[in-house]
Each structure stands twice: as C-alpha cells, then as structure tokens.
C-alpha cells in the first residue's frame, strides 16, 4: 500500500506566492512529492494533452487547481482533464477564495471533487488533501485487484479451453468454435470444411511403447497438426483419444483435400517409429474430410458426421490416407 506522503500532487496556479504557500503547507503536512505548473496550458502540456506532452499522466494522484487564472481558467482546465480518458481518474480539487465560492457549482459540474479556500489553513489543507488521496488510493487498489482478477479469469478461461496433454484446444472449445464458424459461414455464404484425423493403430502403439511413449506420440502429432493450421480461418483441436480435428473456414472441398494430404505427409515425415502398425513402419494418420455450405436446414453435426464417414472409409481402404466424403 502506498503511503499518502508518497503520492504525487500537482499544483496549477499562476500566482508564485500562492504556489509557494500551498507547497510549503503540503510539505509541512508530510507531502514531499509535489510539483507545479504556472498556468492551465502548462497543465495540458504536463499531462501530454498536446504534441509537446512531457509527463506520464498515471504518475499524478491529485491536482490542486486554482479557479481564476489568465487565458484559461481552472474550471475549463478541469473539464478538459476530466474529459481525457487517460486522466479522468485523477481527482481535481479546486483552490478558490471565499469570494469565488459561487464558481464552485460550475467546478463540480466540470468534474472537481472538492475545494480548498484562500487564505489557506494548514488544517483544512491537510484534511481535504488527505481525504481525497485516501479515496484515490482505495480506488487505485480496487482497480488493481479488478485488473488482476480479470487477468486471472482470462488465463483460467484459456487453460480451460486447452487439452491438458497436447496443449492445443480441447473438445469443449472445439464445440464452441464450430458453432461460431457455422454461423459465420452462413452469414458470409462461404463453404466450411473440416478434417477428422486419427492416428493409425494407436492402441497397439500405446501397448508396445507404453503410456509415456503414447503421450509423446500424441504431443508430436498434435504439434504437427497445430503448426499446419496456421491460416487465419484454421483451427485445430484434440477431439478425443487419438483423434484430432481441424476446421477450415472459407475453404472448398478440393482445397481442403489438398491441405489434408499435406498434413498427412507432415505427420508421416516426423518418422516416429511404429513397429506394430500395419500401415507403415512409422506413425501415420488417416483423415476424413467434408465440406458444406452451411444453411438453416443443416446443423454443424452434419459436417462432423460426413467427415467421420470419410475417416471410416480411409480406415477401410488401408489407412494412412485421405478420404473426402
């Protein structure tokens, strides 16, 4: 927790006498991090509200703004500061003489949170400044907690969408994704293709090389699939067990078939030994491909069922191949 005395205060006043007086009062009250500018335009520059900006606005915790200044008064300066998205969390306290109190209503409407009267009273300065800074600190701490919580929730959501073993998207995330892609394809009147990929003879592989070997194989194949699905509309996920799925947005049947064949070759080129395979001496995959032009009379499950039939046909024909259904 930051000490109030360490929080930065900016004085905006065109009178050297009053600047010096209030800075002395603040210093005597324990506030050492005090800076000043001598006009409203100087405050605009200080906060980087023009091309000559010099300061990080997030470093300031409180502005003490004189009401009456030449060229631009404090009320207009307050309004501009509070209308800047980077600055609207910085509290502005107006500094006014007793005779200028009638201006305070406009100042509060411009976004000021409090006021200090001239001639200055050290007790009033200490109490009002301390009160506003405590509120500012509490707001900052709450926002920090909210920011940390948002980051944690985002990371939790990301982790919940990933397969724990392979690190690519999981089945639950795929189910959400395919629904969204289906709606997008209908809206844009574009085809949607899908591949269902199965590692050939994976059970014998797992039995022969052990679960650690099987896990390593799954990770390598998943990495190859994920690396291949790099276009903007491509999406890869683990579908379950030794099955994977890739969606190809805006991709017609011929292009999808060509991409599936290149993916099959990419997995084969990993050269992962597989002594128990009846299809090859290395790990291979069979791939079923389907393409549809989504409409309201169909469901995403139709696309998946068609690709699954293509996969079944690839297995029937000897595996390590692509079949389009």
Q: Distance from CA of residue 306 to its chain's centroid?
A: 36
Q: Among 41, 76, 124, 242, which one carries the catalytic annotation?
A: 242
Residues linked to residue 237 through DSSP beta bridges, in sequence order:
169, 245
**CA dihedral sign, ordered 32, 17, 103, 48:** negative
Q: Which residue has tokens 């690709």?
A: 307
* Distance between CA atoms of residues 325 and 306, nearest Å: 6
* Distance between CA atoms of residues 17 and 37, nearest Å: 13
Task: Provide the token pair at 17.
Answer: 């006498």
Q: Which residue has tokens 């800047």?
A: 84
Contact partners, residue 106, CB within 8 Å, separation at least 6: 75
Half-sphere exposure of 25 (CA within 13 A, CB side): 22
Q: Is 242 among the catalytic positions?
A: yes
* Nearest of 313, 188, 174 to residue 247 by alpha carbon: 174
Which one-letter DSSP state was computed for residue 136? H
Query: Three-class SS of residue 31?
Result: coil
By DSSP bridging, strand 243-249 and strand 234-240 are antiparallel
**R_g of the chain, CA atoms, integer Å:** 33
List Cα–Cα distances, 313 to 24, 73, 191, 263, 266, in angstroms.
86, 80, 23, 18, 21
* Distance between CA atoms of residues 144 and 141, nearest Å: 5
* Nearest of 85, 74, 53 to residue 118 by alpha carbon: 74
Task: Provide the token pair at 303.
Answer: 């696309």
H helices of 51-169, in order, are 74-83, 104-110, 122-160
- The residues annotated with a catalytic role in the active site are 242
């Amino acid at each position: 927790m930051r000490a109030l005395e360490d929080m930065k205060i900016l004085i905006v006043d065109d009178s050297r006498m009053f600047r010096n007086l209030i800075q002395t009062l603040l210093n005597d009250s324990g506030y050492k991090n005090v800076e000043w500018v001598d006009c409203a335009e100087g405050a605009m520059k200080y906060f980087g509200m023009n091309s000559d900006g010099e300061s990080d606005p997030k470093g300031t915790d409180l502005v003490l703004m004189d009401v009456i200044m030449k060229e631009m008064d404090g009320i207009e300066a307050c309004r501009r500061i509070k209308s800047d998205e980077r600055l609207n969390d910085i509290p502005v306290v107006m500094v006014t003489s007793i005779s200028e109190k009638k201006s305070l209503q406009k100042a509060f409407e411009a976004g000021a949170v409090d006021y200090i009267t001239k001639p200055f009273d050290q007790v009033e300065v200490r109490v009002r400044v301390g009160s506003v800074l405590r509120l500012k600190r509490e707001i900052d701490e709450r926002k920090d907690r909210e920011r940390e919580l948002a980051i944690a929730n985002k990371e939790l959501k990301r982790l919940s969408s990933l397969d724990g073993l392979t690190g690519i998207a999981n089945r639950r995330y795929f189910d959400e994704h395919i629904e969204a892609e289906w709606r997008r394809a209908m809206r844009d009147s574009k085809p949607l293709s899908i591949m269902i990929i199965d590692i050939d003879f994976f059970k014998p592989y797992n039995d022969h090389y052990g679960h650690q070997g099987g896990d390593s194989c799954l990770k390598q194949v998943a990495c190859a699939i994920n690396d291949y699905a790099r276009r903007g509309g491509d999406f890869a996920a683990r579908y379950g067990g030794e099955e994977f799925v890739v969606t190809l947005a805006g991709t017609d049947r011929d292009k999808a078939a060509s991409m599936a064949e290149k993916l099959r070759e990419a997995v084969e080129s990993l050269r992962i030994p597989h002594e128990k395979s009846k299809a090859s001496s290395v790990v291979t995959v069979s791939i079923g491909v389907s393409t549809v032009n989504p409409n309201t009379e169909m469901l995403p499950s139709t696309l998946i069922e068609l690709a699954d039939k293509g996969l079944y046909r690839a297995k029937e024909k000897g595996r390590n191949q692509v079949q389009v259904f």
